């Protein structure tokens, strides 16, 4: 608590009392702390590839340039580290965009089956590479919904990309759109992947939180995918849940309130 004391004075008697204001600053402090952590995380995430790039560039200028096979490898590392930084900065931009324009969704009537099949199409190369099979099902009674198509595309891309990243070769992914008990649209992405240990589940939506940093990095992850997805879903007035079991698989469900046709924003 922050306490402010103001004395009450009487002209002839001096101080006769005080007004104490107790202000609960827990939330403000927590916000400030998470902001500090975020800046520290971003700095660290950017510093790591930059340090790598610097040392490989130095090695090249100190002689590796004259050994073509070695030089090729070093240039390859520099390129992939640069790509990582671009991904990270792109993700950060997405986050800040949804932080600042919470309510400015551009809702349009979207055909759900078409939207889900297009997501799968965008990943057809990775899916084929890992021999992962995908099924898409949309409930008969819920064929369309009023959604910000760009936003939800990004949510689905992040979730399907995770499902592929964390599923071993030959696995499968099921994508379904149904109406849940609360009358909301529920889009679920279920995989037969490595799963998430129970102890990590509560923190999984935090920015930069990963179960296995090295694995996520190797897969090209930034640790921001789920937090971006949640921001966008929240902007739609919806919520996200995740259910997972190690070595069995993961189900991520996006719940979105049904907005009547003709509504322009949340
Ligand atoms: P990343 O870029 O690391 O994938 P995300 O925010 O998308 O970041 O996910 C955070 C972490 O959650 C991942 O590093 C991974 O450990 C875990 N995770 C997310 N989706 C899945 C999934 N479908 N299966 C297993 N683990 C997952």
pLDDT, tens only, 217-262: 888 888 999 999 999 999 999 999 999 999 999 999 999 999 888 7
- pTM score of the predicted model: 0.83
Cα(162) to ligand 1 centroid in Å equals: 6
Residue 36, helix vs strand vs coil:
helix
> Among residues 232, 177, 228, 166, which one has the least CA distance to residue 200?
166
132, two tokens: 């992962």
Alpha helices for 62-148 (secondary structure H): 68-100, 112-122, 124-129
Q: Residues enclosing ligand 1, CB less than 6 A? A: 158, 162-163, 165-166, 191, 193-196, 204, 209-212, 216, 221-227, 250
Closest C-alpha residue for ligand 1 atom 19:
162
CA distance 115 to 136: 10
CB-count burial class (<10 Å; 0-12, 13-18, 19+) for 157: middle
121, two tokens: 């199409």
Cα(54) to ligand 1 centroid in Å equals: 29
pLDDT in tens, 69-119: 999 999 999 999 999 999 999 999 888 877 766 557 889 999 999 999 999
Cα(254) to ligand 1 centroid in Å equals: 15
Torsion angle defined by CA atoms of residues 137, 140, 141 and 143, in that order, rounded to the nearest 10 degrees: 60
Answer whether 179's CB lies under 8 Å from 185's CB. Answer: yes
Tell me the sheet residues that pair with 136. 175
């Amino acid at each position: 608590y922050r306490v402010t004391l103001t004395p009450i004075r009487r002209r002839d008697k001096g101080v006769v009392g005080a007004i104490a204001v107790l202000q609960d600053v827990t939330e403000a402090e927590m916000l400030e702390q998470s902001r500090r952590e975020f800046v520290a995380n971003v700095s660290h995430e950017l510093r790591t590839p930059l340090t790598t790039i610097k040392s490989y560039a130095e090695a090249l200028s100190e002689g590796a340039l004259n050994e073509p096979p070695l030089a090729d490898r070093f240039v390859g590392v520099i390129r992939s580290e640069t790509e990582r930084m671009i991904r990270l900065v792109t993700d950060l931009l997405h986050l800040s965009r949804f932080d600042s324009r919470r309510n400015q969704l551009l809702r349009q009537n979207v055909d759900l089956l078409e939207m889900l099949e297009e997501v799968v199409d965008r990943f057809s190369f990775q899916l084929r590479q890992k021999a992962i099979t995908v099924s898409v099902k949309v409930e008969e009674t819920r064929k369309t919904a009023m959604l910000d198509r760009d936003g939800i595309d990004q949510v689905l891309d992040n979730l399907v990309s995770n499902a592929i990243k964390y599923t071993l070769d030959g696995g499968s992914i099921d994508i379904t759109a149904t109406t849940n008990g609360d009358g909301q649209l529920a889009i679920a992405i279920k995989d037969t992947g490595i799963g998430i240990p129970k102890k990590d589940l509560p923190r999984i939506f935090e920015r930069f939180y990963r179960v296995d940093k090295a694995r996520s990095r190797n897969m090209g992850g930034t640790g921001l995918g789920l937090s971006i997805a949640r921001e966008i879903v929240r902007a739609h007035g919806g919520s996200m849940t995740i259910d997972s079991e190690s070595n069995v698989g993961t189900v991520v469900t996006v719940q979105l309130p049904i907005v009547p046709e003709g509504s322009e924003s949340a």
